[in-house]
A and B are shown apart, each in its own frame.
Chain A
Amino acid sequence: GAVVSQHPSWVICKSGTSVKIECRSLDFQATTMFWYRQFPKQSLMLMATSNEGSKATYEQGVEKDKFLINHASLTLSTLTVTSAHPEDSSFYICSARDTTGAAEETQYFGPGTRLLVL
Chain B
Amino acid sequence: LAKTTQPISMDSYEGQEVNITCSHNNIATNDYITWYQQFPSQGPRFIIQGYKTKVTNEVASLFIPADRKSSTLSLPRVSLSDTAVYYCLVGPSGGYNKLIFGAGTRLAVHP
Contacts and interface: CB of A to CB of B under 8 A. Distances in A.
Contacts of A104: 32, 49, 93-94
B98 A1 contact: no
A44 B101 contact: yes
B28 interface: no
Contact of B43 (A93, A103, A105): A93
B98 A43 contact: no
Contact of B99 (A1, A46, A103, A110): A46
Interface centre among B32, B41, B43 (most CB of A within 10 A): B43
Nearest 7 A-B pairs (CB), nearest first?
A: A107-B95, A109-B43, A105-B46, A106-B94, A44-B101, A106-B95, A43-B101
Interface of A: 1, 4, 34, 36, 43-46, 49, 91, 93, 95, 97, 103-112, 114
19 contacts: A4-B43, A43-B101, A43-B102, A43-B103, A44-B101, A45-B101, A49-B98, A91-B41, A95-B43, A97-B96, A104-B94, A105-B94, A105-B95, A106-B96, A107-B94, A109-B36, A109-B45, A112-B41, A112-B43
